């Protein structure tokens, strides 16, 4: 299942040249993940069950710079999921459908102390949207 969220590039997202500062893409990816969960199994409920999903690894390719005042759409989908991790894939486009970034994160299920914690099949099915 692929989801997306739209946003606008504000001046505070950019450097002096009006180009988006690289770490802002990570913030937008987190926003997209949060919205993904909101639709299938709200992240707050996952936390209430004693799970946290920190980013374990990140791979990002900057293809073309996003610029001040552009409308951006961040697409996210789960490429792999099991009882201990989720591999998310992202594509970020502007309103002219120009690809700006591709990325992947691996998030792991942990308890509140950061120790790996397996989730049940029922939770996995909910997250998959099934």
Residue 15 catalytic? yes
Q: From 56, 75, 62, 59, select the one nearest 21 (Cα to Cα).
A: 62
The CA distance from 104 to 60, in Å, is 6
Residue 83: φ, ψ to 5°: -70, -5
At 31, give phi and psi (nearest 5°): -60, -45
DSSP 3-state helix, strand, coil percentages of the chain (rounded to 5)?
Answer: 25, 40, 30
The CA distance from 18 to 67, in Å, is 6
Among residues 13, 15, 48, 69, the one annotated as catalytic is 15
The answer to whether 48 and 111 have CB atoms below 8 angstroms apart is no
Catalytic residue positions?
15
């Amino acid at each position: 299942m692929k989801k997306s969220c739209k946003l606008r590039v504000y001046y505070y997202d950019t450097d002096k040249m009006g180009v988006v500062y690289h770490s802002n893409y990570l913030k937008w990816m987190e926003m997209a993940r949060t919205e993904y969960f909101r639709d299938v199994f709200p992240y707050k409920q996952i936390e209430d069950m004693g799970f946290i999903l920190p980013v374990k690894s990140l791979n990002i390719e900057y293809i073309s710079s996003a610029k001040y005042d552009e409308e951006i759409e961040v697409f996210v989908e789960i490429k792999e999921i099991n009882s201990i991790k989720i591999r998310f894939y992202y594509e970020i486009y502007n309103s002219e459908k120009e690809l700006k970034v591709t990325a992947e994160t691996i998030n792991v299920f942990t308890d509140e102390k950061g120790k790996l914690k397996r989730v049940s099949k029922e939770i996995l099915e909910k997250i998959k949207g099934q």
